Amino acid sequence: MDSLLSQWQPRLLALATAGLGDDSAHDINHLQRVWRNAAVLLQDHAQADALTVMAACYLHDLVNLPKNHPERHLASRQAAALACRQLAELDFPAEKLAGVAHAIETHSFSANLPPHTIEARIVQDADRIDALGAVGLARLFYTAARMDSALAHGADPLAQHRELDDKAYALDHIVTKLDKLPGKMQTAAGRALAEQRLAVLTDFRAAFADEWGMSA
C-alpha cells in the first residue's frame, strides 16, 4: 500500500465507523472486505485511482436503509453526498471528490445507476462479490431474519411450481438476484471471482433442498 493510501485509510475507517448502524451485514467487516476485493481488482487496472476506490469502499454505506425501506433506491445518492461533505472537511483531494461520489452512487443494486468510470466499476464489483460465497450466504440469511422472512417455502423450496418471492423466502434470493450477479460484473476479474463464489451458493441451495426433503 502506498503512502497516500496508508495516510488516508485510518481516516476513512474512522468516518465509516462513526456512521455505522446495527446492521451486521453492512458493518466495518463488510467495508474491509469490499476494500480487499477492490484491491485485488485494482491489480488489473493500473490506470484506476486507488484512493478514490478506497474512499468509496469505506464510505459507500454511510447511509444504509433497510432493503424493504421505500427510499432504499435513494440511499447511495444520500451516502455519496454525505461522504463528500465529510471528506471535504478533512481536506480530501478536491479533484477526487466527484469520482468518489460517482462510485458510491452507482455501487447500489437498488439505485440501478450505471458506473461510467473504472473506479466506480471496481467498487460496484467489489461490493457485489461480498454478496456471494460463504460470507454472502451468511449475510443473506442474517438480512432475511431482520426482515422476518422464512428460510424457504415449506412445500416447494426450489420454486418449481410457484413464483419466486425473496421477500417471503430467503432461499429464493439466490435465484432472484444473486445468481445473476456474475453476468452483471463490470470487470473480468470481478466476473471470475463472482462465478467462483456463486458456485458455493448453488451447491448450498441444492443441499438445502435435499435436507429439506424436497430436492429436484
In this predicted model, what pLDDT tens digit does every residue of 5-59 receive, in sequence order? 999 999 999 999 987 878 899 999 999 999 999 999 999 999 999 999 999 999 9
Residues 54-71 have a mean pLDDT of 84
Cα 196 → chain centroid: 16
For the cut 80, the answer to whether the pLDDT of residue 67 exceeds it is no
**3-state class of 169 per DSSP?**
strand
The CATH-assigned architecture of domain 131-216 is Orthogonal Bundle (1.10)
Provide the pLDDT for residue 213: 86
For the cut 70, the answer to whether the pLDDT of residue 70 exceeds it is no
Residue pLDDT, tens place only, 91-119: 999 999 999 999 999 998 877 889 999 99
Q: What is d(CA 126, CA 1) in angstroms, rounded to the nearest whole number? A: 18
* pTM metric for this prediction: 0.93
Which CATH number is 3-116 given?
1.10.472
Percent of the chain surpassing pLDDT 90: 83
Check if the beta carbon of residue 129 is closer than 8 Å to that of residue 193.
Answer: yes
Domain locations in the chain?
3-116, 131-216
DSSP-derived letter for residue 128 is: H
Q: What is d(CA 144, CA 123) in angstroms, rounded to the nearest whole number? A: 24
Check if the beta carbon of residue 147 is closer than 8 Å to that of residue 198.
Answer: no
**3-state class of 167 per DSSP?**
coil
Number of CB atoms found within 10 A of residue 201's CB: 23
